[in-house]
Structures are given as structure tokens and as C-alpha cells.
């Protein structure tokens, strides 16, 4: 069974904190993605990665960075969390142009 | 620039009625289009993609390049179809460009 897991379902942080969101997939997929999901805005791509140590900016990379040290793991980093980063964060992975498989999401609240 | 438009935020239909969720896109190349669905408290999952031409859970979607549309249709809606539906366009880098989503509510 295909699995994309995310380290936390719910997270509450304070403004200015450094936040790490972790994503792990067990399908040996080259491509991994981070999206944020907001009501009325749909899903927007933050960053993606084709391979280990490779990263590409998506549509809304400001305020975020990523790390991919191992093929199965893709981390999203908020260097200094702000209230406008309160959102649902979804990780996904796929092989080439095939179906993307999504994690359960992390609901982040920044106070 | 590529863009996906879902004009309806909310669509409410009665059980047994036909349903059509609209999706329009703009893309200069040959589009690779998907419909994803998110049921309450579940993760986002693929419903169908245009190249497979499959019917999943009674839903179909036809790519109309002339109208740049990829509308999702089902002849008889069921209560279990109530969910959030997203149309998405895959770009050359294999990332998805999503529409804003349509919330479908099927009432008895």
C-alpha cells in the first residue's frame, strides 16, 4: 500500500519560531512536493524536488525553504513563522508524470 | 501562463440528479489534466485523469481542447459523492497547478 506520511497532524507555533515539517514516502519516488491548502484558494505549490539535494521554487516560495537529503524524505522549513503561514500543508510524491500521492496534511497554526 | 479555473465554489444537488463540475484551463502545450477529490477527514486522492479515459465511481471527464475544458460529470449523484473536488493541470516539471476547488453537496 502506497504511503506518504507527515510528521504531525496538528502543530501550534509562535510568531518568529523556526518550524520543520517532515514528509516521508515509501514508494521510491523521485519527485516530491509541498503545497499549502487554504479555503477559497485551493492548493498552491510551495517547493518541489526532482531528486536528492535538488529543489525548485513553486508559486509561493517566499518565507519557506526545503531540504532533501534522502530520497524518501522532504522537509519544509519556515525560517521565521508568521501568522499568514497558518494553513494546511500537504506533501505529495510521484514518479515522472504519474499520479501524485498525498500525505494526510499538517494543520499549522501560528500565534 | 497556465491556469485552472473552477467557477463554482459550491454546488448543491439532490440525490439522483445529474451533476457537472466545471473546469477550464489555459495552457500553451498539450495539457495533462486530473480531477482530485477530498472526502471529509480523508487525504486528497486521484479521481481520474484524462489520458486514462476511465470512469471512476460513475464519474467521467472529457477533454475539450476547443473549449479548453475538462468538466467532471456524473449522471446520478449519490450522497457519498459529497466532497471537495479539484481540477489540476500538470506542468512540464510534473508539479500540479490546481483550481480553487468546488465543494459538492448532495442532499437526500
- CATH code, domain with A8: 2.60.40.10
Q: Chain A contacts of B32, Cβ < 8 Å?
A: 97
Q: CB of A27 within 8 Å of any CB in chain B?
A: no
Residue range of the domain that includes B102: 3-107
B98 with A44: Cβ contact below 8 A:
yes
Out of A42, A58, A103, name the one closest to residue B86 (CB): A42
Give the side-chain half-sphere CA count within 13 A for B46. 19
Residue bearing cell 484551463: B25
Separation of alpha carbons A79 and A48, rounded Å: 17
* CB proximity under 8 Å: B 38-97 to A: 43-46, 49, 86, 88, 90, 93-97
Task: Count, in order, helices (H) and strands (E) of chain B.
Answer: 0, 11
B-chain residues near A50 (CB < 8 A):
93-94
Contact A43 B98 (CB under 8 A): yes
Q: How many structural domains are present in chain B?
A: 1
B104, B6 in Cβ contact below 8 A?
no
Residue A25 structural domain:
4-110
pLDDT digits (tens, 9 = 90+) for A30-82: 999 999 999 999 999 999 999 999 999 999 999 999 999 999 999 999 999 99
- Assess A41–B contact: CB distance below 8 Å, yes or no: yes
The three-state secondary structure class of A85 is helix
Tens of pLDDT, residue by residue over B30-75, are 889 999 999 999 999 999 998 777 778 999 998 999 999 999 999 9
Number of domains in chain A: 1
Side-chain half-sphere exposure of B98, counting CA atoms within 13 A:
27
* CATH number for the domain harbouring residue B20: 2.60.40.10
Query: What's the DSSP call for residue B93?
Result: T
Residue A83: strand, helix, or coil: helix
- The confidence band for B28, taking pLDDT boundaries of 50, 70 and 90, is confident
Amino acid at each position: 500500500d502506497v504511503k506518504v506520511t507527515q510528521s504531525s497532524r496538528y502543530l501550534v507555533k509562535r510568531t518568529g519560531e523556526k518550524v520543520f515539517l517532515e514528509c516521508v514516502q515509501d514508494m521510491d519516488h523521485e519527485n516530491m512536493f509541498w503545497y499549502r491548502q487554504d479555503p477559497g484558494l485551493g492548493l498552491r505549490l510551495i517547493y518541489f524536488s526532482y531528486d536528492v539535494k535538488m529543489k525548485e521554487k513553486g508559486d509561493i516560495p517566499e518565507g519557506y525553504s526545503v531540504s532533501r537529503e534522502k530520497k524518501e524524505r522532504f522537509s519544509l522549513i519556515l525560517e521565521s513563522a508568521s501568522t499568514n503561514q497558518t494553513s494546511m500543508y500537504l506533501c505529495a510524491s510521484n514518479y515522472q508524470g504519474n499520479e501524485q500521492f498525498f500525505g494526510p496534511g499538517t494543520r499549522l497554526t501560528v500565534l | 501562463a497556465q491556469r485552472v479555473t473552477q467557477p463554482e465554489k459550491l454546488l448543491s444537488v439532490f440525490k439522483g440528479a445529474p451533476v457537472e463540475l466545471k473546469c477550464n484551463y489555459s495552457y500553451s502545450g498539450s495539457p495533462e489534466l486530473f480531477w482530485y477529490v477530498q472526502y471529509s477527514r480523508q487525504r486528497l486522492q486521484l479521481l481520474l485523469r484524462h489520458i486514462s479515459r476511465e470512469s471512476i465511481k460513475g464519474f467521467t471527464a472529457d477533454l475539450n481542447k476547443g473549449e479548453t475544458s475538462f468538466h467532471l460529470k456524473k449522471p446520478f449523484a449519490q450522497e457519498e459523492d459529497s466532497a471537495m473536488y479539484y481540477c489540476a493541470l500538470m506542468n512540464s516539471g510534473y508539479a500540479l497547478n490546481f483550481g480553487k476547488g468546488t465543494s459538492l453537496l448532495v442532499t437526500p
